Amino acid sequence: MAFLFTSEAVSEGHPDKISDQISDAILDEFLRRDREAKVACETLCTTGLVVVAGEVRSDAYVDVQEVARRVINRIGYTKSEYMFDGNSCGVLSAIHEQSPDINQGVVQEEESAQGAGDQGIMFGYACDETREFMPATLILAQVIMKELAVIRREHNEMPYLRPDAKSQVTIEYDESGCPVRVHTIVVSTQHDEFVRAGGNVSEKEAERQMCKRIEDDVRSILIPRVKARLQRANDKLADLIGDDYLLYVNPTGKFVIGGPHGDTGVTGRKVIVDTYGGRGAHGGGAFSGKDSSKVDRSAAYAARHIAKNMVAAGIADQVLVQLSYAIGIAYPLSIFVDTYGTAHVRESDSEIARRIEGLFDLSPAAIVERFGLKNPIFEATASYGHFGNRPYKKEVTVYENGCPTTREVEFFSWEKLDEVDRLRREFNL
């Protein structure tokens, strides 16, 4: 039976995403100065105020105010009329030392014996719908947000745009589960009050004119640019966007009051946006602000790496991997695999899981080493998703014995397809 499925995405200026980016930027700054730093950093953003709290174990010093303001200004909150401005908002820090009760289970004399930073369940997912091995609904929703941000920074075709925005994409799937067409697109974007009431223009008429302009621009500027962006990349997703989709733009009316002034932001509230858009499953643990000793983050990256390489190897068209851990224990308590009946091998899902356990070292120390998770790479993950990105290398500044130096590090290394050949050999594909 054909069906509809929907995913959403948010812009980097969404209040919760501002919080995620500040938390990860602070994490990165600690890791620049201390690769062994243990960080659990939470951020709250509201009208004119940022509050940073959490637990840190490190001898390094980080200027929390400077980091927070840099992130806020980079995102685009640079005007006092937004009621949240990187240059003038208050920044309060309530960071304190990590509990020694937690630390004793995480830090061991032998690094390979490092235990998980907490108990919990983590999921990794992949499917063959897109070249990113991600759900088409989420990729399209993210591309809409990325292109809207490009347009906002150009300040040309849609000069009224403000940083806060959300998108939602519904795709129609056929009986075999293949995406057929985009059914509905929703775009909500914060904007200037570029038509004001006065003279013969009532409040209602001013709002109507603004809403019509924005809807027309989304239809005639944003969506064509999204399609063109996909076509330049030879992405088949462009073909899903026809002329028959339903479009809803700022459905409640004008959206002038937004960002942290319109809705308080908190780290870790966009876990579905961060992962698979509602496909697969989620263990409940957020990522941002946590160093890699927290398996909520590192093991979720490892599970995604396994699932993606399994689909790319042709083991199945769709794979979900679950890992579970106990605090202070160095290896997962369980490994679960679900191929949703799409496997191309003779083994059952439980047999596949046993093979995976033998192929991958899933201790926290091995995961951290494999993906280079003690490097300052996390701010890049805190907007537009932690998965589906292309890995890349870049030089970053780090401090050794207090002296700045540059080091080339890899970002999104868990997205590499470096286990495909080994998996094919193991499963005789």
Q: Strands of 143-264 (E only): list them.
A: 161-173, 179-191, 246-249
Residue 263, annotated as binding a ligand = yes
Cα 18 to Cα 183: distance, rounded to the nearest angstrom: 30
- The count of other CB atoms within 10 Å of the CB of residue 273 is 26
Residue 227, annotated as binding a ligand = no
Q: Which residues contact 274 (CB under 8 A, 6 or more apart)?
A: 20, 286, 287, 288, 385, 386
Residue 416, annotated as binding a ligand = no
Which pair of tokens denotes residue 160? 């009224």
Cα 429 to Cα 423: distance, rounded to the nearest angstrom: 8
Residue 386, annotated as binding a ligand = no
Strand partners of residue 321: 124, 337
Residue 16, annotated as binding a ligand = yes
Residue 207, annotated as binding a ligand = no
Residue 290, annotated as binding a ligand = yes
The per-residue DSSP string of 347-393 comes to S-HHHHHHHHHHH---SHHHHHHHHTTTSS--GGGSSS-SSSPPPEE
Residue 98, annotated as binding a ligand = yes
Residue 255, annotated as binding a ligand = yes
Residue 254, annotated as binding a ligand = yes
Chain mean position to CA 48 = 25
Residue 236, annotated as binding a ligand = no
Q: In which region does residue 280 sit, left (phi positive, over 0), alpha (psi from -120 to 50) or beta (all else)?
A: left
Q: Which residues contact 402 (CB under 8 A, 6 or more apart)?
A: none
Residue 294, annotated as binding a ligand = yes
Residue 36, annotated as binding a ligand = no
Residue 42, annotated as binding a ligand = yes
**Which alpha helices (H) appear in 233-270, and where do they start and end?**
259-262
Could you list the residues known to form a binding site for L-methionine, using ranges: 55, 98, 263, 294
Could you list the residues known to form a binding site for K(+), using ranges: 42
Could you list the residues known to form a binding site for ATP, using ranges: 14, 164-166, 254-255, 263, 269-270, 286, 290
Could you list the residues known to form a binding site, using ranges: 14, 16, 42, 55, 98, 164-166, 254-255, 263, 269-270, 286, 290, 294
Could you list the residues known to form a binding site for Mg(2+), using ranges: 16
